A and B are shown apart, each in its own frame.
Chain A
Amino acid sequence: MDFRFSTEQQAFQTEIRDFIFTELPQELLWSEKVAFTDAVWPTVLEARKELAKMGWPTMHWPIAYGGQCASHITQAILVEELAYWGMPQAITVDDGPNLIGPTIIRFGSDHLKKTLLPPIASGKTFWCQGYTEPGAGSDLAAVRTTASQDGNHYVINGQKDFISGAARADWIHILARTDPEAPRHRNLGYFVVDMRSPGITLRPLDEAHGRSGMLNEVFFDNVRVPVANLVGERNGGWEVAMSTLTIERSGIENVGHARSLLKDITAYARETVRDGESLFYVALIRNKLAEMAVKIEACRLAAYRVAWLRDKGLNPAYESSMSKLLSSEMWQQFTDVALQILGHYGPLESYSRYAPLKGRVEEAYMGSIVETIYEGTSEIQRNIIAQSGLSLPRK
C-alpha cells in the first residue's frame, strides 16, 4: 500500500489551488448560501465555464466523449480541493459531469450523446436530478409521476419534490411510470427533460440554513417529451437509476469542507482568549478538535478507497454507502463541535459583522442536517451496508 498522492496528483492539486485563486471569481469562496441568487448566479455560470475550459469537471470521462480518462482518485482530488477552498456546490459536485454524463455515456442513444454531452463538458448546461416525490423518498421506486406515450412523445404528469437547483437547471433527469400494469421496478422509464418545456412549474422551498433559490418542488402538467429523450429501455428506468445512484457521491466534498474548517476553527481557538486562557489549551476543546481530526482522516481514507475501487474496475457496492454515511455524520458532529467552540458567537449569521469565520459555522451547522437525509438517508445506507456488505437477510 502507498498512501501518498503521486507526483502528478500533487502537482494537479497545486494547479487547482492556483487556478481557484487566480482564475475564479473570489466572491464565490464560501458563497453557498447566495450562489443561486440573481446577484451571484451569473458569476457561478462564468466560473463553471472557466473550469470546463480546463477540462477538469469531465476529466474522468472517456476520451471519445471529450474526457481525459483520468482516474477517479484524481477526480476526487479535484472535488476535495474545490470544496476545501469553499467553492459552492453548483461547481464542486456538479450533477452534469458527475451523474447524468456517465449515465448517458452508458445507457444513452447516440442522439442523446451527441446533443447532451458537449454542452455538459463545456459547462453550458446545468442539470438537476428529479428522483424524490412526496411519497417516494427512501422508497425511491414508489414513483407516482406518469409518462404515457402519445405518438412520438411521452406526456408526463406528476410532482417531484426537494429538487436541488431546479430553478437554475436547463435539464432534469426523472423517473416516471411508463406502464401502470407492470410490477414494481419494471414499470419505470428514465427521461431527460428540458426545463423550459411548457407545463413545468416550480415552487421554491426556503431551506433551514437560509439558502434560497436552491430547493424546489417541480410540477409536470401534461409536459410533452420526445420519445428520443428516454434513456435506456421503456420500462428499464430502474436499472438506469440504480447505475446513476451507485456513482453518486462518496462524500469527499464533506471531507474537503471538514479539513478546511479544522484548520480555521483551530486557528480561531488559538487566537481566542476566554477567561484568561487560549481556547486551544482548554483540554475539552483540544480533545474535541483532535477527535475530529481522527474522524476526518477515517472519512478521507474511506472516500479515496471508493475512488480507488472504481479505478480498479470494482463496484464499490457498500463502500460508497459507507463513505457517504461516515462523512455526512462526521460533518454533522464536527459542525456541532465547531459551533460549541464559538459559544455565543456561533449562532451569529453571516450578515452580522461579529460573526466569526463570516458565519460559515452557523450555516454549515444547520446545512449539515440534510447531509444524512438526501442521497439516501443514514438509515438506508446502514440497510445497504448490512445487506450488501454483510449479506444479512432482507426479510
Chain B
Amino acid sequence: MDFTITNEQEMLRTSAREFLDAECPKSLMRTMETDDFGHSTEFWQKMASLGWLGMPSPEQYGGTNFSFQDMAILLEEMGRSLSPGPFFSTVVLCGQAILEAGTDNQKADFMTKIASGKLVMALAFTEPSASYKPVAISVRAELSGGNYVINGTKMFVSDGQTADYFIVVTRTRQSTNPQHGISLLLVDARSHGITVNPLRVMGIDKQAEVVFQNVRVPSENLLGSVDEGWLLAEKLLAWGAVGKCAESVGGAQAALDMTVDYVKNRNAFGQPIGSFQAIQHHCANMLADVYTSRYLMHQAAWLVDEGEFQSPEISKAKAWISDAYRRVTTLAHQCHGAIAFTKEIDIHLYHKKAKINEILFGDAAFHWDRIAGDL
C-alpha cells in the first residue's frame, strides 16, 4: 500500500494550478455562470497548447499518454478553480472512449483534432428517464442502406450546446437482457434532424436536450462493437464517476480553504470566530470529508488504471464523494454566515457544482445499489 504522489504528479499539480490561477480567474467563472455556452475558445486553445486536450492519447495522436491517476490530479485542480468548458466531455469521456474502442481511422481522425483543440465533443447518454441503467437506453438507431437512422431524445447532455460531435448511446436491437442491443455512435452535431435545446442548470455547468429526428449517420461511425456497446458505456460511467470524484475533491478542498481563511479573519465577540469550538468542529468535519474523499478518489483512479472498471470501490468513492462535497459546501455556507448566501462570495458556485456532480454518473443511492449487489 503506497499513498505517494509522484514528483511528476506534484509538478503537474503545480503547473496546472499556476495556469488556472492565471487563465481561469474567478471573474471568468462568474461570467460563465450566466453564459449560454460556458465555453471560452481562447481558454480552450491555451489548454490545447499545454497538451491537456491530448492527455490520455499516445504521442502519435498529439498526446502525452498520461494515466488516469495523472488526469485525476488535473481534474482536481480544475474542480478547485471551477474551470468552465467542455474538457470533461471532450477529453475525459469521449476522447477516452474513442481511444478505448475506436478504429485506427477513428482514433487518428478524432484524437488528433481533440488534442489540437479543433474538436469539442459531448456524451449523449441519459434520456428523459434520467437513469444510467441499460434499461433506460431507448433512443433507437436502425440500420438502413449503410446508415444508422437515429430517433429519440437525449437529456442532460453536458456541453451539448458546444459540441461538434456527439457520442450517442443508442439501442440497435431489442433484447430481453437490456445490456444487449446497445451501440455507441459518433454523430456530427450539424447532421440534419438534430435539435439542441440548452437547459438552464444551476452554476457553471451547461447541459442540453438533444433531439434526434431521422438523423442519418454512416455505419462506419459505429464506435466499438454493434449491439455490445454496454461494456464501453460502463467504462464511460467509470471514467465519468471517478473524474467527477476528482473534480469534487478539488472543489471541496477549495470551499474548505476559503472557509478556514474566512473564520480566521472574521471577528465576533472580540475574537476570530475560528477560535470557537462550534466553528472548529464544523471545520474539522469538513476536513474529515475532504480527507476521506481524497483517498477514496485516489484508490478509484488507481483501479481505473488497473483496468478494474467494475470494482465496487469505484462506486464507494462516488457514493461517498457525491454526499461529501455537498456536506462540505453546506458547512462552508454555515461558517461564512449571510455573506455566502450572496454572490459576493463564490461558495454558492461550489455548492451548485457539488449538487451537479452528485447527480452526474450516479448519486449515492445509485451506487449503493451497485455496492449492495457485490456484498
Contact = CB atoms under 8 A, between A and B. Distances in A.
Nearest to A267: B375
A322 interface: yes
Contacts of B281: 379, 382-383, 386
A389 B319 contact: no
B175 interface: no
A392 B1 contact: no
Given A286-B372, A290-B369, A291-B364, A1 B3 contact: yes
A395 interface: yes
A73 interface: yes
Contact of A389 (B274, B284, B303, B368): B284
Interface residues on B, range: 35 or more
Interface string B271-288: 110110101110111011
Give the interface centre of A9, A385, A394 by most chain B CB atoms within 10 Å: A385
B215 to A, nearest CB: 38
A28 to B, nearest CB: 28
A392 B274 contact: yes
B348 to A, nearest CB: 22
- Chain B binding surface, main DSSP class: helix
Contacts of B256: 390
- Chain A binding surface, main DSSP class: helix
Given A1-B3, A2-B1, A286-B368, A301 B296 contact: yes
A266 B375 contact: yes
Contacts of B284: 325, 381-383, 385-386, 389-390
Contacts of B319: 290-291, 294
Given A308-B3, A387-B280, A392-B280, A297 B316 contact: yes
A383 B280 contact: yes
A301 B365 contact: no
B288 to A, nearest CB: 6
Nearest to A73: B1
Contacts, number: 135
Given A73-B1, A302-B291, A294 B272 contact: no
B264 interface: yes
B39 to A, nearest CB: 33
Give the interface centre of A1, A6, A390, A393 by most chain B CB atoms within 10 Å: A1
B302 A395 contact: no
Give the interface centre of A5, A289, A297, A325 by most chain B CB atoms within 10 Å: A297
A182 B2 CA distance: 45
B3 A294 contact: no
B130 interface: no
Contacts of B295: 298, 301-302, 305
B287 A385 contact: yes
A385 B285 CA distance: 9
B313 interface: yes
Contacts of B271: 393, 395
18 contacts: A1-B5, A287-B368, A289-B375, A290-B369, A290-B372, A291-B319, A294-B320, A294-B368, A297-B320, A298-B295, A301-B295, A301-B299, A305-B295, A308-B3, A382-B285, A385-B283, A392-B260, A392-B279
